[in-house]
């Protein structure tokens, strides 16, 4: 009997989360949050890298707000100013921003100062790089130090061309 009282509220909460994501995908609710993951505050080892390419079908992503037509890609760097691999990403971020100009918007968030952004994007370790299309859909997520050459290859596969 006690298991029923535990499972029923859990199912109700999951139903509400799924329902709010469906409403947002239909464009009816722009304020709901779909991710309640706890934030991470530990640094990733510089050699620990994982990249996950996300399906870019017609489904709307519950992460991120709708963006305008320009830039084509938003590059979110979620890290910390005290994390060594995050500090190593600083020149990469600057180089990518300079190399692609108005085609890309590079944004850094310090997740130790802004834990809400870490929860919003379900950050497990830092640095994490998230690439969003012009509609806010996640294209790629990478954890750990991300080499500039690999970022270039990804961006060019999505149609961006270096301006310099």
pLDDT digits (tens, 9 = 90+) for 96-136: 999 999 999 999 999 999 999 999 999 999 999 999 999 99
Which of 64, 45, 34, 36 is CA-nearest to residue 137?
A: 64
pTM attached to this predicted model = 0.60
Q: What is the mean pLDDT of residues 79-95?
A: 96
Asked if the model's pLDDT at residue 83 lies above 90, the reply is yes
* DSSP annotation of 126: B
Average pLDDT on 57-83 reads 68
pLDDT in the model for residue 58: 42
**pLDDT confidence of residue 45:** 36
Closest by alpha carbon to 131, among 52, 74, 66? 74
Q: How far apart are CA 6 and CA 13, in angstroms?
A: 11
Q: Which long-range contacts (CB under 8 A, 24 or more apart) does 25-33 make?
A: 25/59, 25/60, 25/62, 27/60, 30/65, 30/66, 33/120
For residues 66 and 10, give the distance between their C-alpha atoms in angstroms, rounded to a whole number. 30
71/118: higher pLDDT: 118
Instruction: Pick the more confident residue, 155 or 21.
Output: 155
14-68 pLDDT, tens digit per residue, is 554 554 444 344 443 333 333 333 333 333 333 344 454 444 444 444 444 444 4
């Amino acid at each position: 009997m006690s298991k029923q009282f535990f499972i029923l509220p859990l199912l109700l909460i999951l139903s509400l989360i799924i329902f709010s994501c469906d409403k947002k995908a239909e464009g009816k609710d722009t304020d709901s949050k779909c991710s309640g993951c706890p934030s991470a505050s530990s640094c990733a080892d510089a050699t620990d890298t994982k990249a996950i390419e996300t399906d870019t079908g017609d489904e709307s992503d519950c992460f991120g707000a709708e963006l305008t037509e320009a830039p084509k890609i938003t590059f979110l760097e979620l890290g910390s100013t005290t994390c060594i691999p995050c500090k190593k990403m600083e020149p990469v971020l600057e180089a990518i921003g300079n190399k692609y100009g108005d085609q890309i918007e590079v944004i850094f968030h310090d997740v130790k100062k802004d834990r809400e952004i870490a929860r919003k994007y379900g950050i497990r370790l830092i640095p994490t790089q998230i690439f969003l299309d012009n509609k806010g859909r996640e294209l790629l997520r990478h954890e750990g130090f991300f080499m500039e050459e690999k970022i270039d290859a990804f961006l060019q596969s999505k149609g961006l061309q270096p301006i310099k």
